[in-house]
């Protein structure tokens, strides 16, 4: 179960976030540079994230089934009630939203629409849970005196910039690897047909 949770977190934190950052970078760069290479990298990034969306959804469903099988009867009853009870949408909305967004990026008309891409980027960068936490934290009852600029984890602005650059680099390496594998598979299929 730990491996499933690790895989889901890896996809959420690293790949979905990195895709959002790459999309913002692509939109910004495409305003100034009309290079076909940028468009090609964006197309491959969209193909890759569509594949990752399917992988995420399958892993999430397997994780849910595994969790249902390892829980005791009382916890299983609580989970089933959460899945299909009064607030069922809270359980299903985030994974279904991420799956839907990644699959909608398969369509060229959606990929070309900058407004939709920006909305999708925000939804991939920040989960609904994070958005709710942010919204509740900026309410006027939340005291600014308790805000801190740096946290105890050692994440400072310079580390944040380095982390974002690393996420983008690793994501682009994954996209390149995905491209090479799919190209090899397509070449094999073509050679087999001949």
Q: Could you read off the pLDDT of 119-177 as tens digits, one per residue?
A: 999 888 888 777 777 777 776 555 555 555 555 444 556 677 888 889 999 999 999 99
Q: At 33, is the pLDDT very low, low, confident or very high (cuts 50, 70, 90)?
A: confident
Give a yes or no: residue 147 inside a domain: no
Calculate the CA 53 to chain-centre distance.
8
**10, 17, 136, 173 from 13: Cα distances, Å:** 5, 6, 22, 16
Give a yes or no: residue 141 inside a domain: no
pLDDT of residue 145: 55
Q: What is the pTM of this model?
A: 0.80
Give a yes or no: residue 180 inside a domain: yes
In the predicted structure, residue 79 carries a pLDDT above the cut 80 = yes
Please give the average per-residue pLDDT across 78-91, as a whole number.
Answer: 87
What's the number of domains the chain is made of? 1
Give a yes or no: residue 49 inside a domain: yes
Q: At 30, is the pLDDT very low, low, confident or very high (cuts 50, 70, 90)?
A: confident
Counting residues of the chain whose pLDDT is more than 90, the rounded percentage is 38
Q: Which residue has the tokens 């999430």?
A: 60
pLDDT of residue 152: 47
Give a yes or no: residue 140 inside a domain: no
Q: For residue 4, which phi and psi values (nearest 5 degrees)?
A: -65, -45
pLDDT of residue 102: 93
> Which tens digit of pLDDT belongs to each residue from 105-115?
999 999 889 89
- Measured over the CA atoms of residue 105, residue 109, residue 111 and residue 113, the dihedral's sign is negative
Please give the average per-residue pLDDT across 35-54, as a whole number.
Answer: 92
Give a yes or no: residue 148 inside a domain: no
Domain that holds residue 89: 2-131+153-193
Q: Where are the alpha helices (DSSP H) in the chain?
A: 2-9, 17-32, 36-70, 73-84, 88-104, 108-112, 114-125, 128-137, 157-193
Give a yes or no: residue 146 inside a domain: no
pLDDT of residue 129: 79
Measured distance CA(130)–CA(153) in Å, rounded: 18
Give a yes or no: residue 144 inside a domain: no
Please give the average per-residue pLDDT across 64-81, as a whole number.
Answer: 89
Q: At 181, is the pLDDT very low, low, confident or very high (cuts 50, 70, 90)?
A: very high
């Amino acid at each position: 179960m730990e491996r499933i949770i690790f895989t889901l977190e890896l996809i959420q934190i690293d790949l979905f976030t990195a895709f959002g950052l790459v999309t913002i970078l692509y939109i910004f760069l495409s305003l100034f540079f009309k290079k076909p290479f940028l468009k090609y990298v964006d197309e491959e990034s969209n193909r890759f994230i569509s594949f990752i969306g399917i992988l995420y959804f399958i892993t999430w469903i397997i994780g849910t089934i595994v969790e249902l099988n390892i829980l005791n009867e009382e916890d299983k009853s609580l989970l089933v009630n959460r899945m299909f009870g009064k607030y069922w949408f809270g359980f299903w909305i985030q994974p279904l939203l991420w799956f839907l967004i990644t699959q909608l990026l398969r369509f060229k008309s959606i990929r070309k629409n900058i407004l939709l891409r920006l909305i999708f980027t925000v939804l991939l960068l920040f989960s609904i849970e994070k958005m709710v936490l942010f919204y509740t934290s900026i309410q006027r009852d939340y005291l600014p005196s308790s805000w801190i600029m740096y946290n105890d984890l050692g994440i400072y602005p310079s580390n944040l910039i380095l982390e974002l650059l690393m996420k983008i680099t690793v994501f682009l390496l994954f996209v390149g690897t995905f491209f090479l594998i799919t190209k090899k598979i397509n070449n094999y299929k073509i050679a087999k047909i001949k």
